[in-house]
Each structure stands twice: as structure tokens, then as C-alpha cells.
Structure 1
Amino acid sequence: MSRKPTAYNDKQRILRLYSVLISKQSMSVDEIENLFFVGRKTVQRDIAAIREFLADLQFEDEVKSEIIFDRKSKKYHLTEREHLFEVFARINTVGNGLDH
């Protein structure tokens, strides 16, 4: 099966996928493949990259916000979005006191 060239590079694709998942949307592997014109292995690598980012982001906390695969719906989604927003708020508060 040939794939249409994508308009996204790897980083852009991962960020776009993350933004879709953080906006309360869940996506199946097939939907991700079709949206970005990538294969299953690329989807798995992208999800792994997002999971690593989320774990690193919450390094001082219990990891609550993570990407999980719901076997019933056969879709990936982000858990505990509110916790993640709290982490972002805390990071931004710390960052506001820094001189650039």
C-alpha cells in the first residue's frame, strides 16, 4: 500500500497528534494512519514519544496524565487532562519568574 506524502515532519506530526488528543478527542490507529499518511509502526513511535514527554513533564508528580489505548473503543486517548493543565500552570508560574 503506497502512502501519500505528508505535509508534516516528524515533530510537527507528533505535536499535531498530541494537540488532537489533548483536545478531548480519541483516535484509532487507523484514523491516525489516515490523518498523517503513516504506517502502524510510526503511530506506535509517535504515541511512545508523547508518553515519554508526559512522563518527563510529570517527573515530580504521580503520572496521572498519560496516553492509553482503550481496548473496548480501540482508540487512544489522554487521561486526567485537568491534572495536566495543573502541571502546565505550575510550570508557567515558575517560568514567569525567570529572566530571559
Structure 2
Amino acid sequence: MSTNDKLHQFLQAVSQNQQLQQELLAVLEAAEDDRQATAELAKKYGYDLSAQEIRDGIERIQSGSEILSDQELITMSGGSFSIKTGSSIQVKW
């Protein structure tokens, strides 16, 4: 499975799993290194992604060189990574 596929699957999981959303929100609020914290959480859920792979993938998505599903579009917005839950958090990559 390619890195792009793994990243898309992780973003899909985030958009559909409220527990994962809450955990991601918590680690992003507490972490000094957003990408590393996200990579560690992804690994916890079975997605083998490095911090650099997450950064590169998000940049490709934001540049418009990748097509997202509707759910991934909900998860991603503007120039930041947004988690749509009861509250919202944006992380600049």
C-alpha cells in the first residue's frame, strides 16, 4: 500500500471515528510537534505513517495535486488541518 493510500485511509478514519477525532484533538492541543504526535496516533490505529509522510501528503492535498473524497474534504479545509467535532481545531502544516 502506498503512503498516499495510507494517508487517505487515515483521514477517512478520522472523519468517521469520533474517538479518533477526540484523541487527535487532544494530542494536537498538547503536542509541541503536531506532525509527530499525529504520526504516533496514526500508528496506534494501525496506520504506519511518519511525521514527514503526513506533512508531505497534507501539502500535496493542499496544493490540489490530489483528489479527496467528500469525507476527506470535510476533514481537510483551507490551509490547515481541521477536525470537525463539537469543537474545532486547526493545525498549520
- The TM-score normalised by the length of structure 2 is 0.39
The structure whose residues are more often strand, as a share, is: 2
The structure whose residues are more often helix, as a share, is: 2
Which entry has the higher C-alpha Rg, 1 or 2?
1
